[in-house]
Amino acid sequence: MTPSFDPGCAAEPFLSLAGAAPGAAVYPGDSFRIEWGPVFHRGRLDGSARVLVIGQDPAQHETIVRRILVGEAGHRVQGLLAKLGIERSYVMVNTFVYSVLGHGGEHHQRDAGIVAYRNRWLDAIFATAPIEAVIALGGMANAAWSAWRATHGAAAFSPGFAHITHPTAPESGSRDDPSKHAPLIAQMLANWNQGLDAIAPHVTHPDHARPLVHYGQAFAPGDQVPIPLFDLPAGTPGWMAADDGWAQRTGTGAAGRATITVKVPTEALP
């Protein structure tokens, strides 16, 4: 019987990989929020994944749920996968297993220890799953993929690949200016359409075969999809999967680093 929740890194080789997660010697505490622990993945580690998504780092929602890409970026990526007919057969990993602090990611993305551990995860995924396409979300994820490919040579297995704009780049770029936000969304979705065109022919075993429908100038109803509960640990409440915005970093300085405030949506209260 297919479980209605995700068992996590319960089987090898992922069990040993999780146990071998690097600490402060590899991820310096002035550049990463190591005090919140590593967050490893989301999706299938049982050998059924057909699409690999590489993200950047876990943020506050991911820290609470212990799965990556469950906030705004995750909902957008879930919709992107759905356009490919992929609703379950995916696995997601990040460039960094710890949340980035400030510009720490830019300074450490090529560190040997970080690259080596991430490459072990990618090696394990490709050794256990018939990956047909890879999606890199943003520049650091693209660099992570390039670093892994460099260790395997030009003759290595070559799935379909798309380096696309990071899902929350419009929010970062607009800085709460509505006049900038809409054009940046339109630019991102045009870029995503190009990525979909590049990898759709490689996804030959979708969960549900459907015609590829491009994005418009803005997200349409259904383009942002809830996180499936079967991706999350047992006992995760449904409201954590349905939307984002329920977790916020609060405070400043050390207090801000140490605090995540979680608010249950009003509609979820009895």
Each residue of 80-130: pLDDT tens digit? 999 999 999 999 999 999 999 988 888 999 999 999 999 999 999 999 999
Q: Residue 176 — very low, low, confident or very high, per pLDDT cuts 50/70/90? A: confident
With 60 as the cut, is the pLDDT of residue 154 above it? no
For residue 155, name the pLDDT band (cuts at 50, 70, 90): low
Domain locations in the chain as residue ranges: 36-216+226-268
Are the beta carbons of 203 and 85 closer than 8 angstroms?
yes
Residue 32 DSSP symbol: B
Cα 96 from Cα 32, distance rounded (Å): 9
- Which CATH architecture does the domain made up of 36-216+226-268 adopt? 3-Layer(aba) Sandwich (3.40)
- Tokens matching residue 89: 């057969």
Give the H or E element holding residue 41.
Answer: strand 41-43
Beta-carbon contacts of 160 under 8 Å, excluding residues fewer than 6 positions away, are: 132, 133, 134, 198, 199, 201, 202, 203
pLDDT mean over 46-73: 97
Give the pLDDT mean for 256-261: 96
pLDDT category at 153 given cuts 50, 70, 90 is: low
User: What CA–CA distance (Å, rounded) separates 215 from 193?
Assistant: 6
How far apart CA 113 and CA 40 sit, in angstroms, is 16
Please name the residue that has the structure tokens 């220890």.
Answer: 113
Taken in order 129, 135, 140, 143, the sign of the CA dihedral is: positive
pTM: 0.96
Over the range 141-155, which residues count as b (16 or more CB within 10 Å of their CB) and which as e?
A: bbbbbebbbeeeeee
What's the whole-number average pLDDT of the chain? 95
